[in-house]
Structure 1
Amino acid sequence: MRSLSLLIMLLLTVCGMSAQQIKTMHENEYARQWEKVASLEKKSLPQSAAEEVNAILHLAVDEQNSPQVIKALIHLGKYDLARDAENDTLVFSRLQGMLEKSSDAVEKAVLHSMLGELYMQYYQNDQWQIRQRTELRGYIPSDMKEWTRNIFFDKVVEHMEASLADRKQLEAAIVSTYSAVVDEGKDSRQFYPTMYDFLALRAIEQYQQLESDEDLSRKLARRELTPASLFAPADAYIRLPIDPKEGEYNLMVHETRRKLMASLMERGLHQSLLLEELDKLESLAGFQQAYRSHALPSLEAMLDKWQGDPFSVEIIDRIAAVRQEEIYNLPAERDSLRDERTKELYLFLQKAIEDYPDYERIALLENRLRNLTTPQFSLSGNNTFPTDGVKKITVTFQNLRSLTARLYRIDSPVDVQMHQSGVRQTLQNRRSFVKEIPVNLPDTPPYQQGETAMELTLTEPGSYMLTFDSQPETNDSEQPAYFFTLSNLAVFSRVAGENLHHFFVVDRVTGKPVANAEIVLYKQTGNWRNSRFTETARVATNWEGLAVYRIGDNGNNIFYHAVRGTDNGSLLTRLNNYRYFTSAIDDEPRGQTDLFTDRSLYRPGQTVHYKAVLTHQADSKRSLATGSKTIVSLHDANGEKIASQEGVTNEFGSTTGAFVLPQGVLPGFFSLRTESGTVSFRVEEYKRPTFEVTFDPVEGSYRFGEEVTLRG
């Protein structure tokens, strides 16, 4: 929906200031210089790109060209990060300094919006490490690298709220005025014409990325609201008492959208308001139960209001999406209901296209209708059939006038295996044409799937292939091919011991053992497309249909099938050699360290006592590692090593030690690490409880399920 509503993009997510500030240097010249910067970036030359951006920055400062100054500062911050991770916070101080010097309300609003987004990006780039830190409250470290998740989120909120604080001035600032550095979509001026609209949409986008620890339903309940309340029409939604408190990030999305919708309503931008309503509904899909109950009625109420207006195509598109999802989620046994709902959707889209053929985005509905009636077919059936009896393949199809199959005989099942593995791209010279088979397709509406069966009259054992031509053609770059074999043999294998395999060959129809059959084994060698299959062994079955085979040292990539006389068996099967790999791994000695601490929670300055137990595993046996040296290191919440100790294991394979935690460290999850083991624990500024709860002794005995009253 945003593709229609506002395709305003910040260059490098950066918005610029008033075009009137650009005094001497023509924007085309800046564009030429930025093209050079982009070229250097593509070549992964951040140092050279930074030098070019520095030149742009000096010119922009001389000309008081605020947009280009901001853009240059953002680029330099990005290059600092690429060249030196320690400098990645410089861009914040640069923009903060520019913000403090600015006296223009719109310029300051844009700078706030940029800073909020940059804080979000910084968090996302390093979120794995930041999330390990215990959240700090009431204190913000001077070093951003010690900030916790909530501090970053609060900074995002602080700057996004500041970017929208001067609503009246922003509503008076037209987006088109800033076209020098704002890339506008063609619909932006019509639907979201002011900088307030633009910045509000950016704020919503950022708030949607903030993670909330508490479920939104609970926050709504404290306001005597339910998820269903959020599905209210615009005139009711803008009056909801949302009023988010500190840390209620997911409510800030709705509060910002509520204010934006109120502004659009006051300005009489009804189409823009509708687009926001549609976006709001789409964002509520996470409330699955409420969405299933309220989304479609809400959309249908909107459609009633906009009936006869070409702009209703936007609503129809969303209704179609919801109905399509409902059809998709119908259980398999509800075929008749699925057909009925699909027909309703087909007619619904068809009528809308007929009613509003000239609407500029009517392609939305045309694409949905096209997807609903996409020509397609699929095949299902056995991979191997006995030589006698019916060979039936099921064809499922949609919107096809005709379907013709061509039957080919393949020289060898090895060719089929190589083709299906992608080794051989074509079987053109390894197949012989047998016959053409027209497939009888029953009449079916274009939106509905039909089903028919192909019956093949074949008796000669071998490998076969079916290819298809359809009218109209399907969207697949290649029509699907179907491979199968005719064989009266069925073969099973099992691992019987170290590198030892048993094969059983039976009659596919009767299940009786087949004597004097052969198991043919092939080795796949080489690298994928350059690989080949080479026959390595043939093993005959005894009177019980059993063949025994012991593989060599390199038993991976082995394939097999059964043959007897002219019956060359089914398609190749890869030999399961699991035990071989397990044995190979177990032959390699491996060490493991199990680490234990005396507690799971400590305060800064306390002592962490630990024990490390070392073991070795070889030949599937685990043993204690006595007399082994090991180094145990202590790491803080940022993963930085604080200290380390060396120890030697005793006769029980263990060693002990202790670390004193430093004072003034960032709280969070600390860890002890060795080369082959780790253990984590928390470091917090906590206090022991200052009260005690005691209970009187329980008298008597009670049965399970009885109620017991405790006094104390």
Structure 2
Amino acid sequence: MRYLLLFCAFLMTALLADSAAPGPTPPLAAQWKKIDALLKKDRTATAAPLVEKIYQQAKVERNSPAYVRALLYKIRLLSNKENDADEKAIALLEADLKTAAFPARPILHSLLAGLYSDYYNQHRYQLYERTQGAAPTADPAPPSAANGGPDLATWDAGRLGAAIVRHYYQSVEEEPQRQLATTLADLGDLATSGDAEGRALRPTLYDLLAQRAIAGLQNQELYITRPEQQFQATDPRLFGSAQEFAALKLDAPAADSLNGQLHALRLLQRLTAQRLAANNPAALADVDLQRLGYLRGITQNTDLADHYEPALARMAEAYKALPISTEFIASHAQAQREADPTAAVALARAAEARFPKSRGAARARAVRAEIERPELAFSAAGMVVPGQPWRLDIVARNVTELHAFAYRITLREWATAGNGNYEERNRPLAQRFAHALKAVPAATWALPVPMQPTEYEEHRFAATGSSLPLGYYLILLTNQPKLSLADPALASSVTAYALAGASELSAVSRYQMATDIPQLLVLHRQTGQPLAGVAAQATYQFYNQDGTRSQAVKSEATRTTADGIVELSKTLKQQERPLAAAKIWRGTDTLLLQNLPGVHSQPIDNQPQRHAFLFTDRAIYRPGQTVYFKGILTQSQAANAKLLTGQPVSVRLLDVNGQIAQTLTFTTSEYGSFSGSLVLPTGLLNGEMTLQTDNGSLSFAVEDYKRPTFLVTLDSVPGRPQLGQPLTLAGRARAYAGPATDGGRVQYRVTRRELWALLEGGFRGRSSYPPGGRGGNQEIAHGTTTTDAEGRFSVTFTPPAVPQQPGRRGWEPGYLFEITADVTDAAGETRTGTRSVVIGRNPLSLQLSGPELLDRQHLPALTLLGTNATGEPLPATGTLRLLVRRYHPNLPGVPGPAPED
């Protein structure tokens, strides 16, 4: 109900907000003002009759603005008093849709699509677990509100997604010419929002509804189930000029008539044609910008993705006389941000200089600020040797100088800093350590930084910490000569912190299972010698009788023996209480030991949890069949959840023994989704197999529930197949008894996947892919053929030639082409054959194998295997070079090994 209220508030803002320029007073302004005042005081029971009166009056008078507004208020009132308000709101609009007239009818279609979409978003967890229901026998128009509304609890994700697409489609198909002739001014108080520039770019009812439809149809979750023959956005002219795009013919197979991408592109075509006819360059540029943004979202991991940035550059030049041209430049800078941050900064500066006060210039400034923003993180040992230099491992970006400050803190502050509750850990640093930061630092020093100010790249390096006397410290690193934690708005400032202690004491713990008594061996931190006479005291943790508050009790202090050993004995009352910590001390040197054996896990804060929801096209398969799957990656914390975009995902197929049979890698889309397919291996045990990710899994059955009578094989490819050259694979279908499968129908499909190695790195351990490599599947060919009298058939396709990217040197990706052929015989039995072909720019593949560790004085024999794209041996000669990884030696005085980039 809370989500429905938020959605209604969004609709009211979008359709009923105040205009930048005051317009005429609506006829019902006084009544609406009174209703708003009542709702503000939560007097819904008093407001409801007033809304109903306006609603009934508007229906009789055919006052569409007042009628639609009253409907929105009725939905808002529902959300305040009904538990199932979302279902009843949908039923209310569905019932009114039957009698609504123009212009209310297309608006209701759009509002219904939004309500269905909101229901989908808030119930996606239940929908992912719901099996596909039977298709409705007729157009599934839900019942009226009078009889309880639609039973959405029985709808699966596919049916709900189809309803969303259908209503968005009908919102712009209801008398489109009248919508184009209806200006926003004609809608009265239904469309009083927006500034003068926005109303000039999108001036009609059709613009308003089309923009809502395009935004709603971008959600890839709506297309969980797709037909075999489907619309594919593969024409490079989609990225062409406005005239070229408007003239492009877009068709889809009949089975894919509800394809949201197709409808969105057709809407963009209509908007483009209308702008061309009206000779409105600014509005035309606005549609072109929206088109390129939409195409970028649906063409990721395809060849068409390479057309996005050139199209932005062309249109930025074509509309250079208009302020909106800076939007194209800002989008280009955003696209270049990861691959070439230097070029992205140059583009952003160009947008800022062209029209400094434009929206595009503001976007460009934000992109540039993000690229130039300094980042800093470091780690250090929790305890160091007093009076000795120590090591800091630093990860930094856009940082040219570093200054360190060490402030004394108490043992209590040091102990509780990492174990406090969520609110405490998220308090500003200046508040958490306010007392310590008021004092003079115990030590300050400058750190050399091996990076240039315009590199915009992450660097890892080690530095030396200043020697510290006995005690506990808050270590602060900043890129400013003077520490200023009170000015977080300073964009060029960055600060990182860690806690460290300086103690000559160290300890090794051991838990005696027989006696249930933990022991400590106390050693000198630098020499490793056992220390005698060191005092030790244990702290035990327990909850009070009502279990509402944690309490601690300390044991009696004991001392180490001549061998440095001390037992942390328990009293009778402490026998059932878990050991929380132990403190050892000698003079002023104190060491607190936490996480010792026997410590019970403390309640952890509600941390963000990732979930991967997987679903397949079937629940049971035969060996050798193709499994089509899709997944959604989300992150939840408490009652909040969000989709994770641009995240690498590894999908593993586990056989019935839990062994990994196949592994595929993907990157989630802007809607947090990923999809792919794999062919189940043959020759393994039947039973339950699993698709597994790091954050979720899905199991399905693999059974020979119908004994096969024939098999399908695809021959290997001889020679050296190359990109851009036609490739033919021969196949054969024959019965296990020997006869050929004559006249069988063959459906084949060819997919391509780019093969990139996942690179380590990224700021603070984030993994990243090289520019252009995302590991998704792309269908490049499909079709049908027939087996001949000998059961033979052939599949011919051309592996797309991929142009070499300018400036790219060294190793380049390969491409895995998977050819799948489904053969159906006269009896209706279908069998599948597959063949994978790896083709790169170089048709020769080399594999080098040998031991992981080598003695360079006595190198062992290494094995080199040369093969063609299909794995057939291929002779080759060349030069073998042994290279070392990039190595930056530590700066003078820095202990330990050098970090590797």
Could you say whether these structures have the same fold, taking a TM-score greater than 0.5 normalized by the shorter chain as the test?
yes
2:516 paired with 1:503: no
Match of 2:590 among 568, 577, 591: 568
Aligned to 2:33: 32
Partner of 1:517: 534
Written as runs of structure 1 = structure 2, the 5 A alignment for 1:95-244 is: 95-96=93-94, 98-103=96-101, 105-126=102-123, 131-132=130-131, 134-139=133-138, 140=140, 144-145=150-151, 148-149=155-156, 150-165=158-173, 166-186=175-195, 187-209=197-219, 211-214=222-225, 219-220=230-231, 226=234, 231-238=239-246, 239-243=248-252
2:522 counterpart SS class = strand
C-alpha contact (below 8 Å) 2:402/2:477 kept by paired residues: yes
Deviation, structure 1 residue 192: 1.0
SS at match of 2:223: coil
Aligned to 2:301: 289
Q: CA deviation at 1:275?
A: 3.3
Aligned-partner SS, 1:568:
strand
Distance 2:543 2:117 in 1: 48
- Residues 573 and 67 of structure 1, relative CA distance in 2, 3 Å threshold: same
The separation in 2 between residues aligned to 1:581 and 1:440, in whole angstroms, is 38
Separation in 2, partners of 1:460, 1:65: 81
1:399-414 correspondence to structure 2 within 5 Å:
404-410=403-409, 412-414=410-412
What one-letter code is carried by the residue in structure 2 that aligns with 1:285? G
Separation (CA, whole Å) in 1 of partners of 2:381 and 2:700: 56
Contact 1:414 1:533 (8 Å CA) reproduced? no
Which of 413, 416, 426 is the matching residue for 2:433?
A: 426
- Cα distance between partner residues in 2 of 1:446 and 1:485: 36
Q: Give the secondary-structure state (helix, strand or coil) at the position aligned to 1:491.
A: strand
Q: What secondary structure sits across from 1:357 in the alignment? A: coil
How far is the alpha carbon of 1:229 from its aligned partner?
A: 6.6
Separation in 2 of the partners of 1:536 and 1:557?
10
Whether the aligned pair in 2 keeps the contact of 1:212 and 1:250 (CA below 8 Å) is no
Query: Hey, what does 1:313 align to over in structure 2?
Result: 326
Are 1:275 and 2:276 an aligned pair?
no
Q: More helix by proportion, 1 or 2?
A: 1
Q: Distance in 2 between matches of 1:286 and 1:180?
A: 36
Residue number among 547, 567, 578 corresponding to 2:566 in the alignment: 547
Is contact 1:136–1:148 with CA below 8 Å preserved after alignment?
no
Tell me the amino acid that sits aligned with residue 428 of structure 1. H
The structure with the larger Rg is: 1
Quick one: distance in 2 between partners of 1:87 and 1:404?
57
Q: Whole-Å Cα distance in 1 between the matches of residues 259 and 285 of structure 2? A: 26
- Which residue in 1 is equivalent to 2:311? 298
What are the ranges of 5 or more consecutive residues in structure 1 without an aligned counterpart? 1-7, 17-21, 327-340, 583-599, 602-679, 683-688, 697-706
Q: Matched residues in 2 for 1:233 and 1:27: separation? A: 46
Q: Helix, strand or coil for the counterpart of 2:222?
A: coil
Deviation at 1:107, TM superposition (A): 3.1
Kindly indicate whether the alpha-carbon contact (under 8 Å) linking 2:407 and 2:443 is maintained by their aligned counterparts in 1.
no
In structure 2, C-alpha distance between the alignment counterparts of 1:183 and 1:557, rounded to whole Å: 66
> Contact between 2:64 and 2:103, CA under 8 Å: does it hold in 1?
no
Q: How far apart in 1 are the matches of 2:107 and 2:466?
A: 74
- Are 1:485 and 2:501 counterparts? yes
Whether the aligned pair in 2 keeps the contact of 1:70 and 1:95 (CA below 8 Å) is no
CA contact (8 A) 1:465 1:481 kept: yes
Alpha-carbon shift at residue 369 of structure 1 (Å) = 2.5
- Give the aligned length: 564
Answering whether residue 736 of structure 2 is matched by residue 710 of structure 1, we say yes
Return the offset for 1:110. Answer: 1.9
Could you report, residue by residue, the CA deviation over 1:93-113 in whole angstroms, capped at 9, with x for unpaired residues? 65456444444x333322332
Task: Give CA deviations for 1:326-369 in whole Å, capped at 9, x if unaligned.
Answer: 3xxxxxxxxxxxxxx43333333234323333435422222222
Cα deviation 1:288-343 (Å, max 9, x = unaligned): 423763432332333343446543210111111111133xxxxxxxxxxxxxx433
1:544 is displaced (CA, Å) by 5.0
Q: 1:357-506 to 2 correspondence within 5 Å?
A: 357-359=356-358, 361-375=360-374, 377-393=376-392, 404-410=403-409, 412-422=410-420, 425-426=432-433, 428=435, 433=440, 435=442, 437-439=444-446, 444-445=452-453, 448=456, 455-458=464-467, 460-467=469-476, 470=480, 476=488, 479-497=495-513, 500-506=517-523
**Structure 1: distance between partners of 2:602 and 2:24:** 72
% identity of equivalent residues: 19
Task: Confirm or deny: 8 A CA contact 1:24 1:63 kept in the other structure.
Answer: no
Contact map agreement 1:264 1:272 (CA 8 A) in 2: yes
Q: Which position in structure 2 is the counterpart of 1:667? A: none
Q: Which amino acid aligns with 1:164?
A: V
Q: Label 1:76 to 1:563 Cα distance change in 2 as closer, same or farther (>3 A).
A: same
Distance 1:236 1:500, change over 3 A: farther
Q: How has the CA–CA distance of structure 1 residues 233 and 385 changed in structure 2, closer, same or farther, with 3 Å as cutoff?
A: farther
* Matched residue type, 2:348: L
Offset at 1:32?
Answer: 1.3
Query: Which amino acid is 1:385 matched to?
Result: V
Q: 1:557 to 1:68 in 2, by over 3 A?
A: farther
Measured in 2, the distance between the counterparts of 1:88 and 1:415 equals 49
User: CA separation in 1, counterparts of 2:71 and 2:526?
Assistant: 77
8 A contact 2:408–2:436 mirrored in 1 = no
Cα distance in 2 for partners of 1:710, 1:62 equals 74
Contact 2:26 2:188 in 1 (8 A): no
| Contact kept? 1:171, 1:194, Cα under 8 Å | yes
Tell me if the contact between 1:243 and 1:255 (Cα under 8 Å) persists in the aligned partners.
no
- Alpha-carbon distance in 2 for matches of 1:73, 1:86: 17
Q: Does 1:66 align with 2:85?
A: no
| 1:405 CA displacement | 4.3
How do 1:64-103 and structure 2 match up within 5 A? 65-80=63-78, 83-84=81-82, 91=89, 94-96=92-94, 98-103=96-101
Question: What CA distance in whole angstroms lies between the structure 2 residues aligned with 1:481 and 1:124?
Answer: 39
Residue identity matched to 1:568: T
Q: Are the structure 2 counterparts of residues 133 and 31 from structure 1 closer, same or farther at C-alpha, using a change threshold of 3 Å?
A: same
For 2:745, the equivalent position in structure 1 comes to: none
CA distance in 1, matches of 2:84, 2:601: 49
Change (3 A) 1:420 1:580: closer
What amino acid sits opposite 1:113 in the alignment? S
CA distance 1:82–1:184, shift in 2 (3 Å): closer
Deviation string for 1:460-513 (max 9, x for gaps)?
Answer: 322223446726968647954443122233334355438543434334344454
Q: Which residue is 1:620 aligned to? A: none
1:665 corresponds to which residue? Answer: none
User: Counterpart in 2 of 1:612?
Assistant: none
Residue identity in the other structure for 2:133:
T
2-structure distance, mates of 1:87, 1:401: 56
> Structure 1's 347 and 99: CA in aligned 2 closer, same or farther, altered over 3 A?
closer
CA distance in 2, matches of 1:461, 1:517: 16
Give how far 1:145 is off. 0.8
User: Counterpart in 2 of 1:621?
Assistant: none
Distance 1:430 1:296 in 2: 49
In the alignment, is the contact (CA less than 8 A) between 2:388 and 2:467 conserved in 1? Answer: no
Spell out, residue by residue over 1:27-73, the C-alpha distance to the aligned partner (whole angstroms, 9 max, x if none). Answer: 53144124224314xx4x65455345335435655765432232223
Cα pair distance change 1:438/1:257, threshold 3 Å: same
Matched residues in 2 for 1:513 and 1:504: separation?
Answer: 7
Query: Unaligned 5+ residue runs, structure 2?
Result: 1-8, 18-22, 144-148, 425-430, 604-618, 621-698, 711-732, 740-901
